[in-house]
Amino acid sequence: MDLPPAYKRAAPRRAAERPVSGPSSTDNFPSGEAWARSVLIAPLPRVEADLAERWPAVAGAPAAVRVTDLVDLRRGYWRTQVGTRIAPAHPAAVERGTRMHRTLGEILGPSAAFEVQIARAGVVGQIDALLDVPIELKTTSQAVPAEELLERRPEAVVQLVAYCALSERARGWLALVAGPRAGPFAVSVGEFEVGNLADRLRALAHEADRLRDALGEGSPASLPACRWYDRGCEFQRDGLCDCSGKEEEERSPIIFGIAPGRTVEPTRAEWETAWNRSPAAPAPPVSSFRDLVYPRLAYMEATRGRTEGYPRGPTSELRRRLREVLEAGPVGAVARLLPRTEQAPDLIESWQGEPTLVRTTHAFARPTPEEIARSAPQHALELGFRCAAVGIPNGRLVLGWERAPAGQIPFRVLRYQFEPLGTFSRMWRERVLALEATRRDGRFERLAACPAWRARSCPYQPECGCPAGRTSR
Ligand code: SF4
């Protein structure tokens, strides 16, 4: 591999690192003793080197803009400025999301990749499903025929065209699933031809620059009117934006010259039948993998009130960049895997086919597998649960190093091997049962305590009493 000179200089010869069992310390995760014996952690030097080759180009470019922020530039501006409201997911929304993914998975089968993430030309997008065409799926209360989608749902068409450009596909499908309020689901599937892909990608990059310029100026004045003004925009409702509703309207140049969609039959009819056959999906017993890793914290947040605020704190810049460097790889390398169990709270993020976590550390020295196993056992636990959800015994951790000296590659890539994987399925069941029992009787002491570092700034510590009141599971 031919690293740039600065990186060659900064990469001293190191002895090969051995795999370690982990996590080894019970100090950092009081409940870690038993499951730690099922984890083996090893560096992945070749994978790390491949990423390192891509890193300088990604790190030296302006931060990528999300396609969803280009759909309506003004909302994109305010979303970036003030953050997104994090509200606990409504059970109906959780049910809808679970059903949507399960039904789409059944319809498309293993040949499709789901929630594919791609970064190109300073723009990053997440495609609901990718076959030989990208598929953008929307749920809605009102059916819209494919031929009217361009007029009535231009934002969704903008998204689809952006995904065609990012995935280098000349056409894409926009699927709208309406209902069911009283009657059955109505599905429309519209195919859109996007024309010259290079032109579309240029239009995307141009829109991304407009948003960056507005953010740089600290004013959205140059951006077109928000289509959601007086139609339920949360930034207007919460008094967070200064839009007046009199701004100039504009059709997105991303869909310039696009012809209306045409219905894709018999696909549309087949999907509609599948949707109406699909039974309602029960909400999973936990709403996130975080709740499985920190069940006591999850219980406290649910019963004492969540203290995480709105607006949300900024995501680590390094973490965002690490995602970009993965997403800049081949189309389909970053996708989400469909879990094998309905108990899973989400699809499973993966990279090159293995469940993957992207995290960062503020360690003072370059993190070694031993140090990561000791100080951050939560990564092993979370990856173990995610691997159990898809039945894959290997996962990956891409760990950014926030304090990396200038010129050094600021990340590690590690493989976590879980043997036997059943340890994590069993622990998952035990934790769910314990949470359910605690919801009934309030005896939170039975729930696994969080790692010591979390307790130091935990608002529930006076009541909960950890780490002094540790439990072993
Ligand atoms: S006090 Fe400790 S165990 Fe309790 S919720 Fe907070 S971090 Fe978790």
Residues 14-41 have pLDDT tens digits of 556 767 766 654 445 545 567 888 999 9
* H/E segment holding residue 186: strand 186-193
- How confident is the model over 154-162, as a mean pLDDT? 97
Query: Same domain, yes or no, for 36 and 71?
Result: no
Same-domain check for residues 204 and 265:
yes
Residue ranges in 89-220 assigned as alpha helix (H):
91-108, 149-152, 154-167, 197-217
CB of 70 shorter than 6 A to ligand 1: no
Q: What is the distance between the alpha carbons of residues 446 and 114, in angstroms, rounded to a whole number?
A: 37
Q: Which of ligand 1's atoms lies nearest the C-alpha of 294?
A: 8
Considering the domain architecture, whether residues 59 and 70 belong to the same structural domain is answered as no
Q: What is the pLDDT of residue 95?
A: 66
- pLDDT per position as a tens digit, 352-408: 999 999 999 999 998 999 889 888 889 999 999 999 999 999 999 999 999 999 889
Asked if pLDDT for residue 225 goes beyond 90, the answer is yes
Q: Which atom of ligand 1 is nearest to the CA of 467?
A: 2
Q: What is the pLDDT of residue 23?
A: 64
The answer, yes or no, to whether any atom of ligand 1 lies below 6 A from the CB of 450, is yes
Tell me which of 277, 296, 316 is where a domain ends: 277
If one compares 278 and 428, the residue with the highest pLDDT of the two is 428
pLDDT mean over 429-437: 94
> Which atom from ligand 1 is nearest to the alpha carbon of 458?
6
* pLDDT for 469 beyond 80: no
My answer on whether 312 and 209 are in the same domain is: no
CA of 373 to the centre of ligand 1 (A): 21
From the CB of 448, is ligand 1 less than 6 Å away? no
Give φ, ψ of 305 to 5 degrees.
Answer: 95, 135
Whether residues 118 and 265 fall in one domain = yes
Give the residue numbers spanning the domain of 161. 66-277
Ligand 1 closest atom vs CA 465: 1
Q: Is the CB of 455 under 6 A from ligand 1?
A: yes
Q: Which H or E element spans position 172?
A: strand 171-178
Same-domain pairing of 44 and 73: no
Do residue 130 and residue 150 come from a single domain?
yes
Query: Could you tell me the pLDDT band of residue 110, with boundaries at 50, 70 and 90?
Result: confident
Pick from 233, 252, 277: which residue ends a domain? 277
Kindly state whether residue 470 falls inside one of the protein's structural domains. no
For the question of whether the overall pTM of this predicted structure is more than 0.75, the answer is yes
Q: How far is the CA of 443 from the centre of ligand 1 (A)?
A: 14
Residue pair 318/408 in contact (Cβ under 8 Å)? The answer is no
pLDDT exceeds cutoff 90 at 94: no
Q: How far is the CA of 459 from the centre of ligand 1 (A)?
A: 8
Sign, Cα dihedral of 422, 426, 427, 429:
positive
Domain membership flag for residue 413: yes
Q: What is the best residue among 308, 438, 454, 463 to mutate for testing ligand 1's pocket, by most ligand atoms within 8 Å of CB?
A: 454
Predicted pLDDT of residue 434: 95
User: Which of 80, 76, 74 shows the shortest CA–CA distance to 242?
Assistant: 74
CATH of the domain at 121: 3.90.320
Tell me, yes or no, whether 267 and 330 share the same domain.
Answer: no
pLDDT for the residue numbered 101: 73
454 contact partners, CB below 8 Å, separation of at least 6: 294, 297
Pocket test for ligand 1, best of 457, 458, 472 (most atoms within 8 A of CB): 458
- Within a domain: residue 473? no
In the 8-state DSSP scheme, what is residue 147? G
> Using alpha carbons only, what angle is made at residue 318 by residues 36 and 455, rounded to the nearest 5 degrees?
45
Tally of domains within the chain: 2
472 inside domain: no
CA of 460 to the centre of ligand 1 (A): 6
